[in-house]
Structure 1
Amino acid sequence: MGRQLEPDLAVWIERVEGAIHGDEVCASEVLDSAALLARRLGLERRPASIAVGVGVALEDVLRELSISVPTPFTRKLIAVLSDAHSLGTREEVEDRYQRTIRDGSPIVSLEDRAVIGFLVGPSSSDALDAMVGRLLRESIAAAAPDLAIDVFGADPPDDRFFQTMAALTKAEQGAHLRKIVICGVPDASRAAEQLDRFGGDPKKLRLVERVNDYIAEKIR
């Protein structure tokens, strides 16, 4: 327990004593504080044993002070610590997965012809913004006139996606591009309507059903 509880040990003891004597506010504060601590440990990828050990160690300290903690309260505290740690662990895994998707989605450069990015997994504004930024940098470096995004392996495009693509046709950052190509959309007619609704420049936009067809066209 040591370093985890020392700064607030007196407060914890006071609240636990209140909880033991039926103070629901104190009981709620103890459980809330325990949950926050355990969740943070989960987010930091610390072992579950440390989170559960907080409850056990607190009970040991109270016993040394001749304060008897009812077993039901101890069980509840340990259950809260365990559940909150599991929540923090899941959140950390999900966040790590999203970072991997955001920073690791593949980009292919067809020399000075086109750069193609492949969006995969759950749709998110962070993943889309990161992909567009990487594609713009790569297209400038390769002097490629076409920028393409394949969405076949991602969630169906939403308004945010179409708004971003439409804005890119008029953005200064995309002024060097001849075409912005969207591959793999499940409904091309709806996609065209959405791009038009958000003010996309139809002269710069192109929809292609299969990214393989687009690649084959570019490497002929």
Structure 2
Amino acid sequence: MKKFMIYLSILIISNIYAQCDDYSQTQCSNDNNCEWVEDIETVTCASLVWDEELCEAAPECTYSCWDAGGYFGWCEPECTGGMTYIDNGYCQEMEILECSEMDEMECGNEDSCDWTENIEWGSCYDLDPIWNVVYYCDDPSTNLDNCYTYTCYGGGYGQWGTCCGGDPYIIANNSYCEEAEYQLGDLNQDSVINIQDVIIVIDLVLNSEYSDSADLNSDSTVNVLDVIQIVDIILNN
């Protein structure tokens, strides 16, 4: 068991620390921590004359090397053709946003963040009708209200007045994203689940110890299944 956990640790560390800049485009697209950056450069075939490999790789270009009659097999290179392109695309690590920089959708997709709703609502029924040729209802503090006027009881027999009605409207939306106070799997409580947490869980398994923070599948046991779940969280964030 101990040898297996050591082997698993090595495998996990090698996978987590795989560098995005070493990936092909396909590998980059399959890693949620990486993004592919397109960088297409348009050049003439003639500009590739001193790079035989690039010239031959370009379908629009033809490479040739004419005998110049020199020593050591030296020849005069040519790369003929029109315009071509060089794909300088590369893979890079995705920028990790702080919780405070996220919108509601981004916040909802991040396990370490919580969306806190803080909305100030207004009521059309609290507004007083304003006369300007006709009565209308409007809250000058926002343009999100959609209030209307209607004829209402005026307070006495035969008395009628004009009142405001309509759906509640938003005066101010101060909702925000913040770091979650507690995150399952964050054993060292640094607000990030990473390889350090994996090492702690593996140590718990090897020593047959238990921690609520490490029991991701809530089976009252810390074992290799919890290690795999933490690794999955790291690889998919």
Greater strand proportion: 2
Q: TM range, normalised to the smaller chain?
A: under 0.3
Structure with larger RCO (C-alpha < 8 A, sep 6+): 2
TM-score (norm 2): 0.19
TM-score (norm 1): 0.20
Greater helix proportion: 1
